[in-house]
Amino acid sequence: MIGLPTVPSRLPVSQRREPRFVAAPRDYFLAPIFAAKPQTGPREVTVEDRCYTIGGFHPMGGNIHPPALDVRHARVIFSLLSFRSIYDDTCLVRFSFNQLCKRYAQSNGGRYARAIKEIVRELTDSYIRIKDLKTRISHEFRLIERIDFEKRPPRRRDSKLALSGQEEMWFNACELSPEFAGLLSQFRELLLIDLNVFNSITSPLAQAIYLYIPSRAYHHHSEDNPFEITLTNLLQQVSAAVPAHKSRRGELFTKNSHPIIGQLDGLEMLKGIFRVKLAETSDKSDYKLQAWVEGIKETRNLDRADSKVLTAYLESGRSREEFNIALANIRPISDYDAELLTKAEVEIDGNRAFFEQAKALLKEARFLDLLGEAKNDQLEGRKAIKTPTARLIYRIMQAIARPARPLRKPGNSGLDS
């Protein structure tokens, strides 16, 4: 699994934002699935034994030409998935359009809202085809199956909409296609991306490069032995325009007040810092991008989890990747959690981090069941062998070590068809 990106290390601590991890299919990070610029037709990208056709076609053929997909669509998909729990087994994702705009662009201004609305519309019209190169069987599906929205009279009577007779559009939720939701239920086929880091990259070309170059630079590469790719090949792979002259290709990455190299170099990852630089090729005909991950950082909470908890989790048959994904959704102990723990006479101070990890690993419903049992034991006078705290921790560890129950296949989302 590639390193999990967090926040740019070059930012002052006061300006860094908490990581917002999003799980997405690993293939999105192993190849340039999403182009660097808008496309006029379908693109084909091969990932291992699978060939992706990214938009620009319709399963029924004819004169229907849906838009192809690029990094703008990837950004909307990641923003949309940030409202979804990794363990959800429903196709329905609930959020408001204002929330989506703020998650995507940190703004819900008119210009951003119009652009994002157009991207969402394109996602509902576009299909992805995944062809198995061994069996030659292909599956075609949309990422977003439908949008749940309604129109209402303007809330402000003095607004221009009220005078024009138009209505306000209220965006309630969206429904993922069953096929896409099915991909998201395959934990071993997911990787994490920090949406805050991805959105900190302003250039679409830099975003497209960032989505897949780290997967190549992460393993077995260093500053002395970096992953290398010529700028010509790199630009072709992400479907960007390739300047005819070497100097122009170099300037594309180094010029402007916020150059692409500057946007990419120094991004902090779960295990190290992503580094990039340019160098000339041996024949001087082109520049090449050199990339590697510098150092191994063991100080982040996601990688510093208690070894006993990790060992118990792995004993259940799940993987370290699933462990990291679960802890990416870690949440503080709520007031209700604290109330149950207090009634159970369980010590919170000193155990808070453990309980937060347990809540993320077990999911909230199971975690609350265990807290409820501990509370009932205490209220009904059932004595613990050692202490109520030790008893609860023992039960939590047992629950973590139990084999995971298989997820249900995505079913009806609750929206009428």
- For every residue of 184-242, DSSP letters joined together read HT-GGGEEEEEHHHHHH---HHHHHHHHHHHHHHSSS--SSS-EEEEHHHHHHHTT---
Q: Are 87 and 132 found together in one domain?
A: yes
Q: Are 138 and 250 found together in one domain?
A: no
Q: What is the DSSP letter of 304?
A: S
Question: How many CB atoms lie under 10 A from the CB of residue 300?
Answer: 15
Q: Are 54 and 184 found together in one domain?
A: yes
Residue 415 in domain: no
Q: Are 248 and 354 found together in one domain?
A: no
Cα torsion at 257, 262, 264, 268 (round to 10°)?
Answer: -120
Q: In the sheet that 287-294 helps form, which strands lie side by side, from edge to edge? A: 5-8, 267-269, 272-280, 287-294, 227-230
The per-residue pLDDT for 404 is 60
Residue 409 in domain: no
Q: Are 279 and 320 found together in one domain?
A: no
The per-residue pLDDT for 145 is 92
Helix (H) or strand (E) holding 147: strand 144-152
pTM for this prediction: 0.70
Query: Would you say residue 256 has pLDDT above 70?
Result: yes
Q: Are 251 and 123 found together in one domain?
A: no
Q: 242, 261, 294: which is the final residue of a domain?
A: 294
Q: How many domains does the chain have?
A: 3
Tell me what percent of the chain is helix, strand and coil, each rounded to the nearest 5.
40, 20, 40
Question: What are the pLDDT digits (tens) for 108-129?
Answer: 777 888 899 899 999 999 999 9
> What range defines the domain where residue 26 resides?
5-200
What residues are paired with 138 via a beta bridge?
A: 131
Question: What are the pLDDT digits (tens) for 229-248?
Answer: 999 999 999 999 999 999 99
Q: Are 248 and 272 found together in one domain?
A: yes
